[in-house]
Structures are given as C-alpha cells and as structure tokens.
Structure 1
Amino acid sequence: MKEQMWNDVDDYFTDKLHNTDPVMKAVQQNNADAGLPGIDVSANHGKFLSLMVKMSNAKNVLEIGTLGGYSSIWMGRGLPEDGHIVTLEYKNAHAKVARENIERAGLSDKIEVIEGAAIDTLPTLKSKGWSSFDLIFIDADKPSYPQYFKWALKLSRPGTVIIADNVVRGGRVLDPEDSTGKAVRDFMDMMADENLIDGTALQTVGSKGYDGFAIGIVK
C-alpha cells in the first residue's frame, strides 16, 4: 500500500512540475527495447540532478555509471553553453545505447561517454585534460563506492559537489549480512572521516522505492 502511495505522489509531482517530455520518454523506451535494466533515476530525481548542476554553477561534470544516459541527459540540460560531462560506462552495449540517446537529446557536443571499468578509466582522466570537476555523480556498482569516493576527491577542488545515489537501498545499508550495504557503510565512513568534505544523506521514496542520496561539498 505504501509503495503505491509513493508512486502516486511521484506521479503527482512529475505531472505538476514537468512538461511533457517526448525526448526522455523516447530515451526510456530505447533503454527498455535494448534490454537495459530499469534502474535509471526517476524523472523527479533527474530534475534534481539538473538543478544541482545549475545551483552549483557546474561547468565540468563527472558521472560514474552511465547505463543508457538518462541521468547524463538530465545533468546535461543543466549545463551552461560551454559545459561538459564525462560519463564512464563499463558495458559496451550500454555505452552504445547511451550515445544514441545523447544524440537524440541533442547533447553529443556536451556529453562524452568513456567505455571501460571506471576503476581503470578514472586514472586516465587527468592525462585527458580533466584535472578536476565541479560536480561528481556516483551511480555505479556499489562494492566499488569506496574506491570511487577516493577518486572523486582526487578529481575535485574546493567547492566540488559530490553526490552518490542508492545509499539507502531499502534500508539494507544497515543489514550486517548485506555485502552492498557494507560497501555503502564503508563509503559513508570515509565521507564521515574525511576532513576535506562536508556531507549529509537524504532518504527518498517514490517510483524507485525506498532509497537515498549522499551529498557532500569539498572544502
């Protein structure tokens, strides 16, 4: 019953605050047709990410975990004219779909998809000219969150916003038997112990269930 209410409220806010968006609907359909898992952020969370890009005046954004590019496009819509997103995707098939979607959204000149395991591609970014980013969004495999956080700090500057998705996982973050919950706890421990970042966490409910974001700003 509560899950239905979460969905209904999500639909209410989407209908109230979002104009009909044929591009994003086409992106979601293309993802489904390609067999991608339906684990994109919701429309409301996508708009939240877009607003975070705008509010932080981010010009250079790093996304760890592309999938089909749904969140990439939302963030791309929040960029200024000279803004750019580098998004890292492990699976070639997902990267192909993401590029199709990004082109459909008219953002190919702003969003670059780099293929390969993020643990391997993150160390190459500085050599590609990306010494730091203004906003970093982590939304990939949860066991690697601690490593992604270390790289996020290396690729940040004072004022960089770091956002990590799926840190609640239906409450499994507190389950001592859940391996992904342990990885998230390790990530949260690192954020709590790191003097260079000031952070918090937000629990969310909606069409994607019960979950949440961790959000921090680099000092």
Structure 2
Amino acid sequence: MPKKQKEVWKQVDQFFADALIAPGDGFDAALDANRKADLPAIDVTPLQGKFLEILVRSTSARRVLEIGTLGGYSTLWLARAVPDDGVVVTLELEPRHAEIAKGNLEAAGLAKRVELRTGLAADSLAALAREGVAPFDFIFIDADKVRYPEYLQWSMKLSRPGTLIVADNVVREGKVIDPESADLNIRGVRHFTEMISAEPRLSATALQTVAGKGYDGFVIAVVLR
C-alpha cells in the first residue's frame, strides 16, 4: 500500500478520534502499558474500540465473550459497555499477556466485570460448554486466524438467537481474495467465511476498514435461530 495513502488514513483516523473520543476516555494508559511491555502492536484502534463499545451497548449485551485478549485494550471497551452486573469472559493463550491485561483492567477500574481465562482458546471454549454457562449476547473473535473456523463452531454453541458475532482482521490487506494463497491465516479466514455463508442460522456482512494500522476489516454476523 502506498506510504502516502497510509499517512492519509492515519490522519483521518486521528481527526475522528480527536473529535469523537474525549481526552482520557480512550484508555490511552493501557495502550502505553502495552507498548512498554513490547506486546505485538495489533490492538484495535481507539475508533474500532469505540465501535465495539457502541455495538455492545446498542444490543444491550450483558454477557460478552472475547476470544483473544492480548493486553486487554479491546477488553476495556467491551467491559465499559456492559452493565455493572454484566460480564466479559476473555480468553488469552499467553500468561504474560494475561497479566498485563489484568493490570490494565485494574487500573481502569473494570476488573470486576471481566473473567480472564488463560490457555488454549479451544480448551477454554470447551470448558465453557461443559460448564453449561448461559449463552453469550455478543462474541468478539480476534485471535489466531487459522482457528477462526473452530472458534465459529464454538461461538454457535455458546450463543442464542440474537447473539452478535464480530470477527476482526478478515481482509488481510486485501489478500483474502486469493484462493490459492499458501498463508494459513488467509486460508483460515476464507474457510471461516465459507462456513458462515453455508450456515442458515447466521446472517452476516463484512466491512472493510482503513486506519493508521493498515487495510483490514470485520465480519459481523447475527444468530437467527
């Protein structure tokens, strides 16, 4: 992607963030903590975080499942959107990432709304199913793309009619359109999309996004029955 174009995306992102996210309201301290901890720079942007918050609020979600915590930046936006008696169950593979996320949640005063489970997401999802937890109202998938198809299967088992499922990083700089790609992440996203297309219980769309972090997008699906 041309460097000049990316700079425009970054400036536009900053314009809207400055206008629509009040100072001190965008969890800047968490982003700073993640940078200082040398976590991968793959957090959602502040505007995307606000987008997730608005989706959760607009659906009146009380139970949220997040697959992929990293340093908890997106978790903060989700947790702020649920009511005081709501919960965000977030799953993270790396213990170090989970510890940083816990620190960010505590610093923001939102730790009481979050249940953080560490380990393989597939194992945590299976455990949730065995425990017979109540269905989730909102599910955010933002983890290893290779396993997106598996995460979709679990999401269907842990949802109810009306549950909103949002998956991030599905455009892959436009490379998702290549059916011959050897990239396992792209193959995972393509299979995930094919599964949604073939699933009569889901109605879905996709949104392409551009920002300072690049060209990507979301798949958004609602469970019909």
Task: Give me the TM-score of the superposition, normalised by structure 2.
Answer: 0.95
Cα distance in 2 between the residues matched to 1:22 and 1:55:
19
Say whether the 8 Å CA contact 2:26–2:46 is kept in structure 1: no
Per the alignment, residue 181 of structure 1 pairs with: 186
Match of 1:212, as an amino acid?
A: G
Cα distance in 1 between the residues matched to 2:88 and 2:152:
18
Q: SS state of the match for residue 87, structure 1? A: strand
Say whether the 8 Å CA contact 1:84–1:110 is kept in structure 2: yes
Deviation at 1:129, TM superposition (A): 4.9
Which ranges in structure 1 are unaligned for 5 or more consecutive residues? Answer: none
Match of 2:113, as an amino acid?
A: K
Q: SS state of the match for residue 11, structure 2? A: helix
Cα distance in 2 between the residues matched to 1:53 and 1:163:
11
What number of residue pairs does the alignment pair up? Answer: 219
Deviations 1:57-115 (A, max 9, x none): 10000000000000000111111121100000000000000000000110111011100
Q: SS state of the match for residue 109, structure 1? A: helix
> Identity percentage over the alignment?
48
Query: Is 1:56 equivalent to 2:56 in the alignment?
Result: no
Query: Is 1:154 equivalent to 2:157 in the alignment?
Result: yes
Q: SS state of the match for residue 101, structure 2? A: helix
Query: Is 1:43 equivalent to 2:46 in the alignment?
Result: yes
Cα distance in 2 between the residues matched to 1:208 and 1:103:
27
Cα distance in 1 between the residues matched to 2:23 and 2:10:
18
2:133 maps to which of 122, 125, 130: 130
Say whether the 8 Å CA contact 1:23–1:104 is kept in structure 2: no
Task: Give me the TM-score of the superposition, normalised by structure 1.
Answer: 0.97
Say whether the 8 Å CA contact 1:203–1:213 is kept in structure 2: yes
Deviations 1:114-163 (A, max 9, x none): 00010111011134452310000000000000000000000000000000
Say whether the 8 Å CA contact 1:66–1:72 is kept in structure 2: yes
Deviations 1:183-213 (A, max 9, x none): 1000000001000010010000012210000
Say whether the 8 Å CA contact 1:58–1:134 is kept in structure 2: yes
Which ranges in structure 2 are unaligned for 5 or more consecutive residues? Answer: none
Cα distance in 2 between the residues matched to 1:115 and 1:108:
15
RMSD of equivalent CA atoms: 1.1
